[in-house]
Structure 1
Amino acid sequence: MLRQTVLVPDDFLVARNPEEGSSLPYLVRIPLGPDGVVLKARETWPRTSKVYCHRAEGWPLDAEIVERVPTRVCTSRGAAIDLVLDRGRENRSQFVLARAKGRQVIFWQTPRTAKQARPNVRIPTARPRTTVDEPGTAPAELEILVDTHERYGWRFSRQQAVTRKQALAVGDYAVELDGRVVAAVERKSLQDLASSLLNGKLRYALAELSGIRHGAVVVEDKYSHVFSLGHVRPSAVADAIAECQARYPTVPITFCETRGLAQEWTYRFLAASLHEARLELGAEPHLYDLEPAGPVPPREPTTAEVRAWALAAGLPVSDRGRIRPEVWDAYRSAVGP
């Protein structure tokens, strides 16, 4: 299983690390899977820089909990876990598995700190990271498949890529992994975009693109030029673009101003998509290689919960303030620890 998503409420826990002398004074428990994932961490949240983490053996039953926050979304994707907490601030972060000097390391980052450090996130520059290169060999060029129906296909002569003509079932340009198309791009001029939107052909193309993991439509023009179209009603084209994006949200329609920029965007999109596909297929370090953490003790009841139980049980209890120890003892005896 390459993807697992937790959409039911669960708690993200931060506790003090009981291990004496550790340089990682905190434990964090990520509510992923039935038993969660427990990591040692340097900080309780990556506020100013990425936080180094290390795999912990498990969650101690007598852990001193520092924070307990309900989780809205916890999604694993390849070598990363995206975490969204149910609070207004400091709620979005990501755990990324990487390799440093031949060993496995884990970094905890937020969108802000990710700008400063991107462990194991290789954005293509002069040459994309599309293969695991052997020592002493030159990096392989990105091979881009060009549909045989493309009359004046891009050659990608300015990019580190080679092209190969092939009949494509979806898109005009694509990349393969293990003989299977994992990413494809449909190329459009502004006039072609407008006509295919209004006659309905683009909706069928978007439906096909949504059937693969990474699909996109790239337009060789500016979005503002939509409102300069003369032979069609501009608002009808703009509405059709918006409706298509709402119906197929996983297939972006990207305006790239010029033919050259559209070609550059396609090159980098295909390279990044191929790398992402390798992550999902396990060609890179994967978080599912980690051992499950085990169960976590239930949270302590709140004063309001104990007071409500006591009133229902007919025990005398004040409307506010502290609850007497004998009421707490009665609650634990009746409900459990």
Structure 2
Amino acid sequence: MTDDFLIARNPEENSSLPFIVRIPLGANGIILKVRDTWPRTTKIYCHRAEAWPADPDIVETLPVRSVSRRGAAIDLVLERGRENRSQFVLTRARGREMIFWQSRRTTKQARPNVTLPTARAHGQVLQIVVDSQERYAYGFTHQQTSIERRKLPAGDYGVVDGDTVVGAVERKSIDDLSAGLTSGKLTFQLADLAGLHRAALVVEAPYSALFKREYVAGATLAEAVAEAQVRFPRVPIVFCDNRKMAEEWTYRWLGAVLHEWRLSQRTDIVVADLEGPSASPAEIRAWAVDNGLEVPAKGRIPTRVRQAWEARNDRRES
């Protein structure tokens, strides 16, 4: 068998992994079924093949400069100017082998060169409720939190005040988002989230990932996301770079929600100041001028003017 890196078409019909590769390592090499011929924009999922086909439909034959195994990784360097360095990572998850093919570029995209802050969310050690049905949940090990697992009415992560769910976040991978949009399941989830005080949906991928799906047109998914936001404006859909960034965003957002909720519950703050008047500031100013009350042309409307306006409304209702 050749010492070249071989890429051929997968002879299995209707396979979701249309190519096979042979890594020249060991006596017979390592044979894998793969989704693409190179990890250009994202890491590629791989699966072991039983054997190299007897009459392969070769796509590429690439001379190898070096190939070596280092722990769970196989480093491959090809004899060509571009797209010459990549790595196969062999690991285990959920009780089975998982193999990914990645390049330096895709690894860098998956791990942006940023340092996450360690400061508390709004100065507090946040208690986050993780839904009891959430699998592979965020651990929030980088953040200052305490975790409680129990059933949430909507979302995967939430903050509560007594029995009230103050805010919740639904987590989606790009695959989950795509499936939920095309099946209609996401509509029901957004409707449940919209019934909470505050809610959001976070996606563990950048917005550009919508246009890189293999079996769904990017325009179709983008239109579906836009329609969901228009239909449920109270539930923002936020795209983050990856899972780690999505976890950090979830932590900060839940902290802000709890902070806003506690402010709204303070008895020393006038409710009208938090919720605003029933009419626009311009209407209240016009009414105050007509009734001989002093009111600034710009800025905050004085409390005495607001109280006079509310008293006027009360008299009308009576």
Higher relative contact order (CA 8 A, sep 6+): 1
In the superposition, the TM-score normalised over structure 1's length comes to 0.46
In the superposition, the TM-score normalised over structure 2's length comes to 0.49
Of structures 1 and 2, the larger Rg is shown by: 2
**Higher-helix-fraction structure:** 2
